[in-house]
Amino acid sequence: MDALMLARWQFAITTSYHFIFVPLSIGIGLLAAIMETLYIVKKDELYLRMARFWGKFLLISVALGVVTGIVLEFQFGLNWARFSRYVGDIFGPPLAIESWAAFFLESVFIGLWFYGWNKISAKLHLMCIWLVTLGAMLSAFWILTANAFMQAPVGYVLRNNRIELVDFPAVALNPQVQLEFWHTVFACIVTSAFFVIAVSAYHLLKKTAEFEFFRRSVLIASILGLAGIIVTMHVGHDMGVHVARTQPMKLAAAEAVWDTRTNGAESAFALIDEKARKNVLDVQIPQVLNYLIYSKAEGVVPGMNDLQKEFEGKFGAGNYIPPVTLTYWAFRAMVFSGIVMLVVLMWVLAISVHKKFDRSPLFFKALIASAVLPHISNICGWIVTEVGRQPWVVYTLMRTSDGVSLSVSAAAALVSLVTFVLIYTILIVIAGSLTLKLIVAGP
């Protein structure tokens, strides 16, 4: 493998790993904040114990989220020096603002929240966890602002052999980031809701002494989770509509549309031949795709083969089609997990409202297993977004292959990749076993 491929693998692996913990940091923070608020309002000690118990998992996810996040911040310079030089003028400011306006907030107040229980008043302590959550969400906003620029560049001009910022409000108000932000933040809330439900399901299954503790946890998590999945899906739909306009190639790849389609049929199952640039088999549902994108029966969905010709005309010879099979199936896995999550959350909410927890062990075991669903959805969503944008690193402005560092040899890239994979593997085992111990120990 050459240095480019190694750098891509390293970024993909370290980002995916980072995104196991980010959603939990954002969502569990919000859940803990709500629980502590209920404690202050209702003066019920149980809510305080809930905030403290779930806070332990916040601690673990923040610890891993932060250390793996710094790896990403450094990695732009480490492996993607030419990208950094070319887009730093516009890509850097959101990251700098993130550290000042968001990350400081989260990090400073999380220390005070964990270690200030007896040093500050209850209300001040509550303020800390809300500031942590606010910081985490603002952090997501600014990081996604930088990402949104890579998907749909706005507010820039090509000058001095690089991309220069000319309109900051346009970058921060990029329609792409509005969609990405709500889609991502609510997906984070769903992820955490499933975590809380799964842990609670374990205790309800084992019939531990903390029935009321976990019943209320499930209730709060399923309300938040259900609201979360509805918003995530709704915004996800808007995102599809947006992508159809701004990145037609990505949409075509996610739907495996090779030749421009006028009948609006949605692919349900396709066997894709990327070399021959066609589908060997494509089971289609009539009309659905046009309704998804255009909200009506009529419409034209440009196919990859036609877009390829168009791009060749604009940008010269080259392959402008992303890895289709991966994008297509990742998109389906994301949507399918989302639908299953919606059903599960409605079911769990109904059960916890009616306090009917007298279920078969299989039910609880299934709930425990369902904690993996949001992670599948999250990672697949990022695959659609990032893989579907290839060969571009910044859409239509810079190819991924042009962004890689020249001074990093394949050997050096291999050393770092192996090092990170090794450490991350050890960490996930340790963090996993610690999490299990804390779950079994209970509140």
Contact stretch for other proteins (CB under 8 A) within 161-169, 178-186, 219-227, 258-266:
161-169
Kindly tell me which residue out of 5, 67, 241, 342 binds other proteins, with binding defined by CB under 8 A: 67
- The single residue among 5, 48, 92, 302 that binds other proteins, judged by CB under 8 A, is 92
Cβ neighbours, 10 Å, residue 301? 23
Cα–Cα distances in Å, from 366 out to 145, 192, 208, 300, 348?
Answer: 37, 17, 18, 42, 12
Q: Which of 164, 238, 273, 282 binds other proteins (CB under 8 A)?
A: 164
- From the list 72-80, 188-196, 201-209, 273-281, the region that binds other proteins by CB under 8 A is 72-80
Examine residue 391 and say whether the peptide bond preceding it is cis (omega within 30 degrees of 0).
Answer: yes
Binding mask of the shown chain, residues 286 to 305, with x at each position contacting other proteins by CB under 8 A: --------------------
Among 46, 48, 49, 162, binds other proteins (CB under 8 A): 162
Instruction: Scan residues 41-60 and list those touching other proteins (CB under 8 A).
Output: 56, 59-60
Note whether 81 binds other proteins by CB under 8 A. yes
The binder of other proteins chosen from 79, 133, 176, 232 (CB under 8 A):
79
Q: Which stretch binds other proteins (CB under 8 A): 20-28, 215-223, 363-371, 403-411?
A: 403-411
Of 165-173, 224-232, 269-277, 378-386, the segment contacting other proteins by CB under 8 A is 165-173
| Contacting range for other proteins; rule: CB under 8 A; set: 202-210, 228-236, 257-265, 422-430 | 422-430
Asked whether position 365 contacts other proteins by CB under 8 A, the answer is no
x/- mask, other proteins, residues 93-112, rule CB under 8 A, reads x-xxxxxxx-xxx-xxxxxx
Beta strand 266-273 with 162-165 is: unpaired
Contact call for residue 115 and other proteins (CB under 8 A)? yes
Is 408 one of the binding residues for other proteins (CB under 8 A)? yes
Q: Which stretch binds other proteins (CB under 8 A): 77-85, 258-266, 314-322, 347-355?
A: 77-85
78 counts as binding other proteins under rule CB under 8 A: yes
By CB under 8 A, tell whether 73 contacts other proteins. Answer: yes
Give the number of residues in contact with other proteins, rule: CB under 8 A.
Answer: 74
Query: Whose Cβ is closer to other proteins: residue 184's or residue 405's?
Result: 405
